Amino acid sequence: MKRYESDEFDLNEGDVITSIVDGMPNIYFSERVHTLVQRSMSKLVIIKMLGRKIKFNTLCSKLHAICRPTCTFQLMDLNNDYYIVKFQTKEDYEKALTKGPWVIYGQSLTMQPWSLLFSTQEEYSMQVVVWIRLPCFPSAWYKRRLPEAVGNLIGQVVRVDDNTENGY
């Protein structure tokens, strides 16, 4: 397994602008810094267990076992039982978001891409990636576009299962 690589960056002259306004210190960061920070957030996934909580180290170990990333990842706990997972590769990031559903000790694990609008103040996020089964859908109709059309009635389809796409 590959080691974690840091995404730290150097600050250039003009990247940090400080001033005093009404006796209070103000700090601003350049557009370059904003871009670098956003780029570093591009492989973050927000997760939350639905059901009972488990310990941090157990969650980290179980995530590694079920997601099987090619590189190490970082896990950080947040408020309100949310966690951030920072993947090192786009492949690991996409696999975590699309290859579920993920279950740990019988508890569902929600995963969603990080966004600027995310807040830990919400008990549950407004958007989550969910796995939908169509148990009575005729097998002859298991062509990619048909289950996708059904799924699009509910929300945006992220992925159609490979077995479904192959008619199994």
Same domain, residue pair 27 and 69:
no
Same domain, residue pair 56 and 108:
yes
Same domain, residue pair 48 and 28:
no
The whole domain housing 163 covers 132-168
Question: Number of structural domains, the chain?
Answer: 3
pLDDT at 20: 93
Coil vs helix vs strand at 62: helix
Same domain, residue pair 12 and 54:
no
Average pLDDT per 10 consecutive residues for the chain, totaling 168 residues: 58 92 93 88 89 90 92 92 92 89 87 85 67 79 82 80 58
Cα separation, 81 vs 122, in Å, equals 11
Q: What is the pTM of this model?
A: 0.65
CB 104 within 8 A of CB 56: no
Domain presence at residue 160? yes
Same domain, residue pair 87 and 103:
yes
Question: Which DSSP state fits 167?
Answer: T
pLDDT at 2: 42
Domain presence at residue 109? yes
Domain presence at residue 9? yes
Same domain, residue pair 47 and 109:
yes
User: What CATH number is attached to the domain comprising 57?
Assistant: 3.30.70.330
Same domain, residue pair 54 and 87:
yes
Same domain, residue pair 7 and 64:
no
